[in-house]
Structure 1
Amino acid sequence: MSIEAKFLHLQAIHNLLAPYRYLYSIDLEATCDEVGVHESPRSLVVVPDQMETIEIGLVVIDLESLEIIDEFQRFVRPQINPRLTDFCKQLTSIQQSNVDGALTYQEVGEELRTFAALYPNAAWASWGDYDARQLDRDAGLARCPSLLEGLPHFNARKWHKGLYDDQPISLKETVESLGLVWEGTYHRGIDDARNVASIIKEMLG
C-alpha cells in the first residue's frame, strides 16, 4: 500500500470520527457450543440464533487525547441457556458462578445507560461486526432496546484492513503484528476490549 493511500484511508477514518468526542471500544462474550473433534456427533446445546451475551467489556477512548479514560464491565445472566457449556467455559474462562449471580440483559442495559451518560457524544467500535449483530440478537430475545441503541457503530477490523497490507487472522495476532503488548486473557470481554482499544489508538495516533 502506498503512503498516499494509507494517508487517505486514515483521513477518512478521522472524518468519520470527527463528530464524536468519545469512542467506546467494546467486546462481547456469549453463550456458545461446539462439538469437539474427539466427541461423538450430537446436537448443539446452544444454536447460533440463541446465543446470549454473558459479558460486556467497554473501554472509553477520549478522541481528543487518544487516552483511555474509563471502563465498564459486567457479566450478564443468560435466560434461554442459563447453564454454560464446557466449550464456552474453556473458550472464555467465564465460569458458571460468574453468570449465576449476574444481572439480566435488561438490568445491565440500565447500568450501561447510566454509565454512558457520563460520556455523551459517543460512537462505538468493535473488532468486526459480530458484536453489533449479537447486541441486536440479544435485544430481540429479551424484547428490549439494544444496550447501545442509537449509537453509531464502526468496524475497527475494516479500518485495520484499509491501513495495513498484512491481514492477521485473529485479534491477538493483530495486536502482536503492530508491535503492541497483548493484555489479559483472550476471549474475555474486558480484556479484548482493551486490546481493541490499543489497536485503535495505534491506528489513529
Structure 2
Amino acid sequence: MAVELDLIETVCVNRSKNAKHLMLQPFHFLIVIDFESTCWEHNADGKKPEIIEFPAVLLNIRTGMIEEEFQQFVMPVENPILSGFCVKFTGIKQEVVENGVPLHTCISLFCSWIREISEKKGLVFHVDQKGNNGENTCTFVTWSDWDLAVCLHNECTRKQLYKPEILCQWIDLRATYRKFYKRQPQGLQGALSELGLQFEGREHSGLCDARNTALLAWRMVQDGAILKVTTDFQRNRQASRKTPFQVDI
C-alpha cells in the first residue's frame, strides 16, 4: 500500500510540474523547419547552397502531437545538377528537384499553408514572451541558425526574393539545448540519443529531421526547458502580432 501511495504521489508531482512548465511556455505551437540544400563533398569552387527541400511541421506543445505538415521540393537554378554526394547525403534524386518548383513559388505555397493553419488553429505569431495570455501563440524552430539566418536569407538575397517577415524570428533549439542541459550534443541525432530517444526515419531527409526536431522540442518541454525566441532579425523593431490574414507573402 505504501509503495502504491508513493507511486501515486510521484505521478501527481510530475503532472503538476509539467502543468507548471506548460503554463510558463510563451508559445502553444511551434513550427519546426529543416531545409535540405545542394551540397558538395569538396566545394573548391565556393558554390552557394540552394534549398531543394522545404519542410515544416506544426507541433502542439500542450499535447506533443504534430498536427500539420508541409513539404515542397524545390528546383535549384544556380547549380541545377545535384552532386552525387548530395543525392547520397539527402536521398533526393535529380528527377525530384527537376519536378520541383522555383523557390519563390515554394515560399508562396508555404505562406498559403501558414495562412490556412493560422485560420484553422487561430495562431498568433511572435507575441511578447512573458506569457501566452490564453492565445494560440506560435513561433518557428530550427535545429540551428543555419536554415533561416544563412541558407534562406542568403539565397533570397542573391535571387532578390522577398523573405516573409515572420521568418525573421525563431528558436535555435541547439543553442537552447546547450544552455538547458549544459552539454554539447553531437548533432540532432546525438541530442536525441543523450535523452534516450531514437531518431525515427531517414537522417538528412528534411521532413524526417523536422519531425525529430519536434520530438526533441517536446521532450525538452517535458524536462522543464522554457522555449523562447533566441534569434531576431528585427531586434530593433516592435515584435509583430500577426493575425492569420496578415501573414506576409
Q: State the TM-score bracket (shorter-chain normalisation).
A: 0.7 to 0.9
Residues 165-194 of structure 1: per-residue CA shift (max 9 Å, x gap): 332211111112111121111111000001
Mapped pair 1:164 → 2:143:
no
User: SS at the partner of 2:144?
Assistant: coil
Aligned partners of 1:112, 1:123: CA distance in 2, in Å?
15
What is the match of residue 39 of structure 2? Answer: 32
Mapped pair 1:189 → 2:213:
no
Aligned partners of 1:111, 1:22: CA distance in 2, in Å?
20
Mapped pair 1:153 → 2:178:
no
Aligned partners of 2:182, 2:108: CA distance in 1, in Å?
41
Q: 1:62 Cα deviation (Å)?
A: 1.9
Q: Which amino acid aligns with 1:115?
A: W
Q: 1:176 aligns with which of 193, 201, 215?
A: 193
What is the match of residue 134 of structure 1? Answer: 151
User: SS at the partner of 1:79?
Assistant: coil
Q: Which amino acid aligns with 1:126?
A: T
Aligned partners of 1:106, 1:73: CA distance in 2, in Å?
15
Distance change >3 Å, CA 160–CA 97, structure 1 → 2: same
User: SS at the partner of 1:61?
Assistant: strand
5+ residue gaps, structure 1, are: 1-6, 36-41
CA radius of gyration, larger in: 2
Aligned partners of 2:79, 2:93: CA distance in 1, in Å?
14
Q: 1:14 Cα deviation (Å)?
A: 7.8
Q: 1:143 aligns with which of 160, 176, 196?
A: 160
Q: 1:64 Cα deviation (Å)?
A: 3.6
5+ residue gaps, structure 2, are: 1-16, 125-137, 223-249
User: SS at the partner of 1:150?
Assistant: helix
Q: Which amino acid aligns with 1:162?
A: K
Q: Which amino acid aligns with 2:38?
A: T
Q: Which amino acid aligns with 2:69?
A: E
What is the match of residue 75 of structure 2? Answer: 77
CA RMSD of aligned residues (A): 2.2
Aligned partners of 1:29, 1:51: CA distance in 2, in Å?
9
Q: Once the two structures are aligned, what percentage of the paired residues are identical?
A: 28
Determine if contact 1:56/1:75 at 8 Å carries over to the other structure. yes
TM-score by length of 1: 0.82
What is the match of residue 62 of structure 1? Answer: 60
Q: Which amino acid aligns with 1:83?
A: I
Q: 1:77 Cα deviation (Å)?
A: 0.4
Aligned partners of 2:41, 2:159: CA distance in 1, in Å?
24
Q: Which amino acid aligns with 1:123?
A: T
Q: Which amino acid aligns with 2:151?
A: Q
Aligned partners of 2:56, 2:32: CA distance in 1, in Å?
6
